[in-house]
Amino acid sequence: MRLILAAALALAASVAEAQVKIGLSAPLTGPDAAFGQGMRAAAEQAVADLNRGGGANGQRLVLVVADDAGEGKQSVAVARKFAAERVTLVVGPLGSAAAALAFPVYEEAGIVAVTPGATWAPLTGRGLWNVFRTCGSDAEQGTIAGRHLADRYRDRRIALVHDKSAFGRGLADGVARVLKAAGTPEIAFEPLDRGERDYAALAAKLRQARIEIVYFGGFAPEAGLLVRAMREAGLDAPLVGSDGLLDKEFPRIAGSGAEGTAMTLAPEPRRLPEPKGAPARAPRPPEAEAFAAQTYAAVEVLARGVAGARSAEGRKVAAFLRGGAPVATAIGEVAYDANGDMLRSGYALHVWKRTPDGRIDYAGNLLPP
């Protein structure tokens, strides 16, 4: 009996050693659940595709999924759960506020984390060894949008509006810095509350200030409502935003006023690769695709980090990735600087335009410099 038990334990240990766990911390419930479900599908596909190709360093990948609801405390709880389960590699969290709270927990536990969507610039500037992105940063988006406003609207009255989130406020602050350096500071810097349904008072305030162009740091629902409120108030000022506006609901909510809205996005839409050796997946809504390719790429980064480091130990994987060697991913070759940011920029300005069939869409509509 003892021999059988010993053999069983040895077999279990051998199986565990032959597996590499990758945790996924995603908002599977809550207001960003559509994004999170897309992340989950992408991560599952990446793990399956990589396993068909031999896994990582000859070891099979196993995805461990946890719902962080896009919320800070829950993201910390997920981080502690992964640490207890000895998961050393994590994709996520998606949101900047959640990531800011979870990343130090991951660092203390020796876990390397790759976020597909947390763009708050200071995340990679706080000296944490374990943090990487497969997305750009708000600093990049803010710089590109700020330069666009300073160049094209130099003599216009500019307003900056944000939704008080780390994401939205960070974007607005970045644009403000660029405008100030260019000698064209904004006329107004206004907050709004995420989740509200009526921005008539803010729109009236912007009209009274004779605002001619608005930059918005935040997400599609509030951007759409703000545009609608501005048009109802008789304010025709165009809106410039970020990839937070990448949502089919934006033109639906904003109505015809959505036309002409610009936003910083990847130069070309990033699409998830078709599954390898499996039937093609069914079409998914834009929200599910928004961070899918970046999530798929994050799994690839971790798997290739394991192969390059010849270890799944977090610090060794991080050291390999920070070494600057490019790794092939679904979003192209990715190489990192010493902070964990991608060496190449990932943004350009797209504009929502009306298509021949009457829809308002951004796809393929790069804004001329």
Domain 139-266+348-361 CATH assignment equals 3.40.50.2300 = yes
What's this model's pTM, rounded to 2 decimal places?
0.73
| pLDDT recorded at residue 9 | 37
User: Which residues touch 13 (CB under 8 Å, ≥6 apart)?
Assistant: none
140 in Cβ contact with 133 (< 8 Å): no
Report H helices in 182-219.
200-208
Query: Residue 109 corresponds to which amino acid?
Result: A
| pLDDT recorded at residue 7 | 41
112 in Cβ contact with 87 (< 8 Å): no
pLDDT averaged over 10-residue windows placed end to end, the chain, 369 residues: 43 58 97 93 95 94 98 98 98 95 98 93 91 89 94 96 92 95 97 95 98 97 98 97 90 95 75 65 65 94 97 97 92 92 83 91 73
- In CATH, the number for domain 2-135+291-334 is 3.40.50.2300
All CATH 3.40.50.2300 domain ranges of the chain, comma separated, are: 2-135+291-334, 139-266+348-361
| pLDDT recorded at residue 6 | 41
Dump the DSSP string for 10-50: HHHHHHHHTEEEEEEEE--SSTTHHHHHHHHHHHHHHHHHH
Distances from the Cα of 360 to the Cα of 3, 250, 357, angstroms? 69, 10, 9
**237 exposed, middle or buried (CB, 10 Å; 0-12, 13-18, 19+)?**
buried
| pLDDT recorded at residue 286 | 59
Cα–Cα distance, 77 to 227 (Å, whole number): 37
